[in-house]
Amino acid sequence: MEIDLTINSKRRYENFLKRVSESKMVWGLKSEDGWCVCESNEYEDAVVMLFWSDEAYARQCAVEEWSNYKPTSIPLDEFMNSWLYGMNQDGLLVGVNWNAKLIGLEVEPYDLIKELEDTLER
């Protein structure tokens, strides 16, 4: 079962890279309290900030404790040039296209910048 989750997480990650490169937009969940974050599934004492390639994916996760969060768009250039650098400085990980069960890949912000740059160059 864990292998299937990893394969699906990798597919969702690849889909994230492709979709945000095309749309030039990233989606997060935001409330009056700020942007959604959660504990890492992989690393103890690590915090993950979540982003999605599409508004619909973000909306699927706006349930239970995040029911008061709304999908909010971020321009890709701002995400790459400001958000990811700030997240790196703050020691946060990035979770992209996580599912409603809060399962997905966790990546270092600088690794995501490189992957996005490579995808945009294609």
Strand partners, 95: 50, 106
Q: First and final CA of the chain: distance in angstroms?
A: 33
**CATH 3.40.50.720 correct for 2-121:** no
Q: What is the pLDDT along the chain (122 residues), one digit of tens a residue?
A: 333 445 588 889 999 999 999 999 999 999 999 999 999 988 999 999 999 999 999 999 999 889 999 999 999 999 999 999 999 999 999 999 998 888 889 999 999 999 999 999 98
Q: State the pLDDT at residue 6.
A: 57
Alpha helices per DSSP H over 24-108: 55-60, 76-78, 84-90
The full set of domain ranges for the chain reads: 2-121
Distance of CA 1 to the CA centre of its chain: 23
